[in-house]
Homo-oligomer: A and B are copies of this chain.
């Protein structure tokens, strides 16, 4: 699987087009984007569980799953959340303008927004830009991937090709993240496009299942957003159907890999992040607890700052496991490894050479491995370190 850094061209699956332009909400950067399927496509999504859902989320979640979607339009800079009835009206104006430019029905267009909460969509700028946005659409993912960014430093795209029983298909993933990233889809937008042919019910179950082990296992700062969405859109343009048992296995594996790649990209590009933290908990007798504890570690400011300082302060990890209610009986039998070095076992610290572990922490990927030795379940979560830059980025954002 090839990641798509900003410069490299990520070709979309067959029958998809993408576009991103600057409409003037942001000063220079592209701030409105659209993904278009040339033919009506299957689309499914998962959405934020925040009770304060943005207008585009309230609107879009009623339309999916569907087998008749032509586009997803997305603006950045204004989240259109906490904006009341005016927010719903302006959301509809944006969708209507896109449907008109695409010459399709209103309910064939999905929408997502990201940006500042509590300000109204600047439709005076957005609406006039939409015909140009649609007309510029082409088969590369980059312009759209750029247009959806907020405080992200790099666009996040990935693409993979898969051979199924009746031919080859392509899957492309695009996402944005950065701040406010937390389990249950926090200010992240994810788009997985494929030219495979699948049903809307399968799309709906797959997007949920893969989000649970990817997007829902990342955390930047524990704040859960009003606007999170992750979409799976399949237009069948390859002519290849996912149909045999082997096809389904391979397809699910590929969508999972794309989702985890995007999730890790988001965590690694968290606001102010310099390191990607991967926490693996295994040997759990309770899957929900393993997931919660793994995410809890990625969420701890004390652990995040220690990782930032390349400080092997493993006691904070143990303390967090206890705070997450991993039973004391398991705390006294677990093993804890940092960068592969055993630091705690049998209820006691294992002597270690501090400078050696510090040296191993001088890298981008920091791995924390915990074996609870109590059962068959495991969970992996991703997060990032906490730097002064995070504070700087968030001190004055609105």
Interface size on A, residues (CB 8 A): 68
Chain B interface: which of A125-133, A140-148, A308-316? A308-316
Among B79, B85, B301, B322, point to the contact of A226 (Cβ < 8 A).
B322
Q: B79, B120, B328, B390: which contacts A51 (Cβ < 8 A)? A: B328
Q: With A222-B300, A328-B52, A349-B83 known to touch, is A398 a contact of B313 (CB < 8 Å)? A: yes
Establish whether residues B53 and A319, one from each chain, have CB atoms under 8 Å apart when the complex forms: no
A152 to chain B, nearest CB (A): 16
Which B residues are CB-close (under 8 A) to A105?
none
Assuming the contacts A117-B316, A386-B391, asked whether A348 and B301 have C-beta atoms less than 8 A apart, the reply is no
Contact B391 A308 (CB under 8 A): yes
> A302 within 8 Å of B by Cβ?
yes
Asked if B312 and A86 sit within 8 Å, CB to CB, the answer is no
> Which listed residue (B116, B180, B226, B391) contacts A387, Cβ 8 A?
B391
Residues A301 and B394 in contact in the complex (CB < 8 Å), given A84-B346, A347-B85: yes
Quick one: which of A50, A116, A182, A306 has the most chain B CB within 10 A?
A50
Chain A 208-244 interface 0/1 with B at a Cβ cutoff of 8 Å (1 = within):
0000000000000111111000000000000000000
Residues 384-395 of A, flagged 1 when their CB comes within 8 A of B and 0 if not, give: 001110111011
Chain B residues with CB below 8 A from A387, complex form: 391
| A318 interface neighbour in B52, B85, B224, Cβ under 8 Å | B52
For A318-359 the 0/1 string (1 means CB < 8 A from B) is 111111011110011000000000001011110000000000
Of the A-B pairs whose beta carbons lie under 8 Å apart in the complex, a sample of 10, sorted by A's number, is: A51-B322, A51-B327, A81-B315, A84-B349, A117-B315, A182-B323, A223-B301, A309-B397, A313-B397, A386-B391
- In the assembled complex, the CB of A276 is this many whole angstroms from the nearest CB of chain B, namely 17
CB distance from A224 to the nearest CB of B (A): 4
Do B323 and A50 touch across chains, with their CB atoms under 8 A apart?
Answer: yes
A158 within 8 A of B: no
Chain B residues near A260 (CB, 8 Å)? Answer: none
Q: Which 8 A-B pairs have the closest CB atoms?
A: A52-B322, A117-B315, A309-B395, A118-B315, A84-B348, A305-B394, A224-B323, A313-B398
In the complex, chain B residues whose CB is within 8 Å of the CB of A314: 118
Q: How far is the CA of A391 from the CA of B316 in the complex (A)?
A: 15
The residue among A84, A300, A301 with the most chain B CB atoms within 10 A of its own CB is A301
Q: Mark contacts of A175-197 with chain B using CB atoms, 8 A cut-off: 1 yes-contact digit, 0 otherwise.
A: 00001101000100000000000
- A111–B387 Cα distance when bound, in Å, is 35
Q: How close is A257's CB to chain B, nearest CB, in angstroms?
A: 29
Question: Binary interface profile of A, 355-398, with partner B (CB < 8 Å = 1, else 0)?
Answer: 00000000000000000000000000000001110111011111
Q: How far is the CA of A328 from the CA of B54 in the complex (A)?
A: 11
Mark interface residues in A289-301 (1 if CB within 8 Å of B CB, else 0).
0000000000111
Note all chain B residues with C-beta closer than 8 A to A63. none
> Which residue of chain B has its CB nearest to the CB of A180?
B302
Residues of B contacting A309 with CB < 8 Å?
394-397
* Chain B residues within 8 Å of A226, by CB: 318-319, 322
Q: Closest B residue to A343 by CB, please name it.
A: B118
Pair B51/A398 contact, Cβ less than 8 Å: no
Set of chain B residues within 8 Å of A81, measured between Cβ atoms:
315, 318-319
Is the CB–CB distance between B82 and A344 below 8 Å?
yes
